[in-house]
Structure 1
Amino acid sequence: MEHDPRAHVDERLARQTEHLRRELRDSGLPVVALTGPGLPTTARFAGLESTDGTITHVRVAHGDATTGPWAVVDTARRADNRGDPLRHRLEHAMRMAGAHLSDVEWTEDDATMHLDGRPVTGRTVRAGDRWTATRCADALIDAEITVVARDWPAATIQLRLVADPAPLLDRTWRRPDPLPQPPPPPVPQDLAREPHRALIDAALTHRRQTLTWIAGGGAHPELPAHWSGLWRAAVRRQQELTDQSEPAANRAVSDAIAHLTTLAGHADWFDTSPRLRERAITETLLHVTGLADDPPSGPAHRAWRHHQRLVPDPTADLHRRAAADQAWRDAWTAWAAGSTDTPP
């Protein structure tokens, strides 16, 4: 009998759908979707969030996030949207769509949505003529409903309680099969000579671009097309310099990038002092490649190793994790305070 891989996919999706249906039923959290005449698209399940095994958010999407009218209805337990301002929710949606946050006028006003014909009051944030985010708390269903929309045709938001989420789950958005990608371009010769440094510079540039994107929106920043080739070149060079195995060299390169990008986010001098930034990068690379046994920043690198053993581990004692993080920061602060113009 000829094997049909689609049968296994269909079976897995059916099991997943049934599992989600049971989870939603047992959670007691209502599912809400848009309704009314002239809806441009059919509703579909768009995801959920859980905390400590309890579902806290359910999302239903309408439309295509990349083009045309689009909206997402988020239903949450009333205590679970604290710390998630409505404007932040709208800004995130606009960023993901490549919209510039500063190109539009922002306004906020009272709002009313209708849930199964019953008015529910709240607030709405508008960004220009295309984007809105509206949030209403409904004591009757003990939930908070947030609707983020782009180019949505209805002037008044009409909602309905979904009695049976199974049809929505059957229409869960699935990522399309990726298109064949062309081979990555070769690493430019000037970067291939020092691949560690080129990789660090690219990672730090991407970090700065990402912060700019978070602040203002626009096109999502991408790593350079030759990133994968540059990474492989750095791993090979790491092996040549240290005699490490390929997995160990890969971890060392990854750790150096993590260290410097984390440092850039915590030390003000990293952005404000080109001299200190250059020294920190140079000493980190000398340390990771073994070309310097104990550079002046050695205490900071030892503190980073301890930091990485504890801080990412959620099972580690919270106070020990905080102490390790502070010790690492303090080590770099002491290094910066005592740094001179003497080359490393």
Structure 2
Amino acid sequence: MHKSWIFKEKGDAGGWVEHSENDLPNEPVLIDVVHSAINYKDALSITRAAPISRKFPMVPGVDIVGVVKEDMSGTFKAGDRVVATGFGLGEVHWGGYTTAARLKPEWLVKLPHGISNRDAAAAGTAGLTAAMCIEALENYGLPLESGEIVVSGATGGVGSFALRLLDTAGYHAVAMTGRPEEKAYLLAQGAKDIVARSEFDQDVRPLAKERWAAGIDVAGGKILANILSTTRYGGSIAACGLAASMELPASVAPFILRGVNLLGVDSVLASREKREKAWKRIEAAIAIHPLDDMVYQHKFEDVTQLAEDLLASKSKGRIVLGWH
């Protein structure tokens, strides 16, 4: 028997259900799930604050870390440690809040030796997205001596990993936060300075004083618009989220007068090549700066309360779920 959190139908409150292996989706790779995590999207799904799941029955959880039990495709061998993120997991394909999962081989990446199962779950979608944001910025010619790089949503998963990865790569990261009481945590993640979110959640001027050489934004809305208007000539902003708003109340001024680049970053459908490159960056960063001070481990069974805490901004760092 296996155990999964299942939404049986649209509108169902969901809950833990015991079921047989035959109830799992018909996909080639069977893995024993050891860890998952709680992302913003997971919290919205578990609390029913937004209709994340679009097919039913559905198991939420966009991150899966596990050990291969069998692979009918021949891509992996039994005992391989693997991670899956994106590709509609928890939305249209059964996700990670379960003891076992059947997945397509192209959704999986074999974990580098230097990343533990726990740390892979801690990274998950958040770490992968942060790594891909930095890759996008570097592809536009971001030099180490470029200057200040602002990171919005800095106490969250993507923000915390962005700070960590920027710092270990030698960049000057500035954490934007609405939680000044978390200054010590943000500095520990690698931030060199802290800036108040309230300064950016204001009406937007087409152009303001230049400050940022680059940025990583998870917020959207006025925050992203104000980051764009304060970005230096030729700077780039990697946008990967909409935690504040899906709107972008900006003008074209930063683009046509300062040559600012707005780079969209999506990790959901990224190729295996891009994912493997991102995981190598994460592995290198963990070797320099272990994740112990940003990982908060809990039992899978605590997921409901943990999701509510995340949406209420009562949590920080990465919440990792495990069966043991």
For normalisation by structure 1, the TM-score amounts to: 0.22
More helix by share: 1
TM-score calculated relative to the size of structure 2: 0.23
Larger radius of gyration: 1
Return the structure number with greater relative CO, CA threshold 8 A, min gap 6.
2
